[in-house]
Amino acid sequence: MLSVLRRGLRLGTATIVLAGLGPLVGVPHPFAPRPALAQDQAAAPEEAEAPGKKRRRGREKKAAIKAPGMQQATPVAIFGDWNVFANGQGRTRVCYAIAQPQARMPKTLARDTAYLFVTVRKAENVANEVAVMLGFPAKPAGSQAKANAGPAPTDPTLNLGPTRYGLVTKDNNAWLQNPAEETRVVTEMTRTAKLQIKATSMRGNPTNDEYALAGFGDAIKRAREECK
């Protein structure tokens, strides 16, 4: 319970920038103690039925992802669907491997852009922080307030093959509920073809974002090299 409470305190001071909710890269993991970049200015609008227009799939986005609100993040490389960015110099350097979903279900829901990213923070010897920008406010897991509780069937999860990892949510954002699982998840991401993020919106709509993992192994390797 204590570890969950500590994560809750850190969540209470989460500082993710969603400027304009355009493509975003280089956002430090909000659990980390650091000077605030900007407070979450407002929750993303809850998803609604898309007015009959086709939404572009993340698979079409082969160009470099841009970073509104984080222009100091420098693009480093692209590997498949994955972009690598770096920010800062020396001990303060932070690096990221980040991607947008290849497919989003259901297609009839209009949501803000989603991102999955793994952060490397040199100063804190961190190499595997996994975070998700969902693009909508999500319902928290029932197990979020219980230490060592596995995810229930309707809880938000990160799915790799048959394995489900519980997520802790805060507004539009999510992180692995158990930080001890981060290294395992990142390792599995280098060996698996796809990853799914499943969550239920505050309006009660189940969602499923699918990320292609081709290129992730090279991307996280490059991110770590940039933050040696």
pLDDT tens, position by position, 20-77: 223 333 343 333 332 222 222 233 444 554 444 443 333 334 556 554 335 578 899 9
Return mean pLDDT, the chain: 74
Q: What is the per-residue pLDDT for 106?
A: 94
Instruction: Please check whether residue 12 lies inside any domain of the structure.
Output: yes
Report whether 15 contacts 39 (CB < 8 A): yes
- 20 conformational bin, left if phi > 0, alpha if psi -120 to 50, beta if neither: left
Domain encompassing residue 219: 2-32+60-226
Q: What is the per-residue pLDDT for 32?
A: 36
Kindly report the CATH number assigned to the domain that includes residue 92.
Answer: 2.60.40.1880
Amino acid at 107: K
Instruction: Please check whether residue 68 lies inside any domain of the structure.
Output: yes
Domain tally for the chain?
Answer: 1
Q: What is the per-residue pLDDT for 223?
A: 95
Instruction: Please check whether residue 179 lies inside any domain of the structure.
Output: yes
Instruction: Please check whether residue 11 lies inside any domain of the structure.
Output: yes
Report whether 213 contacts 203 (CB < 8 A): no
pLDDT in single tens digits along all 228 residues of the chain: 323 322 332 333 223 332 222 333 334 333 333 222 222 223 344 455 444 444 333 333 455 655 433 557 889 999 999 999 999 888 889 999 999 999 999 999 889 999 999 999 988 888 899 999 999 999 988 766 565 566 777 789 999 999 999 999 998 999 999 999 999 999 999 999 999 999 999 999 999 999 999 999 999 999 999 998
Rounded to whole angstroms, how far apart are CA atoms 15 and 17?
7
Instruction: Please check whether residue 41 lies inside any domain of the structure.
Output: no
Rounded to whole angstroms, how far apart are CA atoms 61 and 40?
26
In residues, how long is the chain?
A: 228
| DSSP per position, 75-88 | EEEEETTEEEEEES
Q: What is the per-residue pLDDT for 7?
A: 35
Instruction: Please check whether residue 53 lies inside any domain of the structure.
Output: no
H/E/C letters for each residue in 195-215?
Answer: EEEEEEECCCCEEEEEEECCC
Instruction: Please check whether residue 48 lies inside any domain of the structure.
Output: no
Instruction: Please check whether residue 42 lies inside any domain of the structure.
Output: no
